[in-house]
């Protein structure tokens, strides 16, 4: 059995929503410093997922162009995303990574086709069709003598830059 007691003089009833006494400076400082510490720690720890260094290995590789490579025919080394062309005495390399969403484009007789969203590129990398925002970048080629070349997929050069054999 619950018995309601009568209010006594000077006491206030808990059932009435009463104004709380203003919180003291100490309590507020305590809460805010705790919040500050937690926030600072949280913000600091949120820096963790952004890696400070990326494991970007060297993308340089050496190739030997086959003697049978016809002028204007793409040579795509296995496992690499670069197409190397030899036109006369001029050698250049075009990246085969689609500028749209990163699929590997396939070299065809007329240029490059992207299997993912239908972009088409010319042999010099220019966009012919599809959603690709820009042409395929040209990448750095260095002549090492004979039919040997050093390709650096990590370094793009201005379109039209060729190496004379």
Question: Which one, 13 or 164, has the nearer CB to other proteins?
Answer: 13
Asked if residue 71 binds other proteins (CB under 8 A), the reply is no
Minimum CB–partner distance for residue 19 and other proteins (Å): 7
Q: Which two tokens stand for residue 161?
A: 């830059």
- H/E element, 21: none
Q: Does 145 bind other proteins (CB under 8 A)?
A: no
CB 90 within 8 A of CB 162: yes
CB of 70 or CB of 78, closer to other proteins: 78
Distances (CA, A) of 52 to 49, 78, 164: 9, 31, 40
Q: Measured from the CB atom, is 20 or 89 closer to other proteins?
A: 20
Q: What is the CA radius of gyration of the chain?
A: 34
User: Quick check: 17 binds other proteins (CB under 8 A)?
Assistant: yes
Quick check: 22 binds other proteins (CB under 8 A)?
no
**160 touching other proteins, by CB under 8 A:** no
The whole-angstrom separation of Cα 96 and Cα 94 is 6
For residue 103, count CB atoms less than 10 angstroms from its CB and return exposed for 0-12, middle for 13-18, buried for 19 or more. middle
Site string for other proteins, 34-53 (x = CB under 8 A): x-xxx-xx--xx-xxxxxxx
Query: Which residues contribute to the site for other proteins (CB under 8 A)?
Result: 1-5, 7-8, 11-20, 26-27, 29-31, 33-34, 36-38, 40-41, 44-45, 47-53, 55-58, 60
């Amino acid at each position: 059995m619950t018995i309601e007691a009568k209010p006594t003089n000077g006491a206030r009833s808990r059932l009435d929503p009463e104004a709380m006494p203003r919180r003291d400076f100490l309590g507020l400082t305590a809460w805010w410093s705790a919040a500050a510490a937690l926030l600072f720690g949280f913000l600091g720890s949120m820096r963790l997922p952004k890696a400070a260094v990326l494991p970007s290995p060297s993308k340089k590789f050496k190739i030997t162009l086959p003697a049978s490579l016809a002028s204007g025919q793409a040579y795509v080394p296995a496992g690499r995303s670069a197409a190397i062309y030899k036109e006369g005495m001029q050698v250049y390399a075009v990246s085969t990574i689609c500028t749209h969403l990163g699929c590997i484009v396939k070299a065809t007789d007329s240029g490059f086709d992207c299997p993912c969203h239908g972009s088409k590129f010319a042999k010099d990398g220019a966009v012919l069709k599809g959603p690709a925002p820009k042409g395929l970048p040209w990448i750095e080629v260095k002549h090492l003598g004979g039919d040997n070349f050093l390709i650096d997929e990590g370094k793009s050069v201005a379109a039209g830059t060729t190496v004379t054999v």
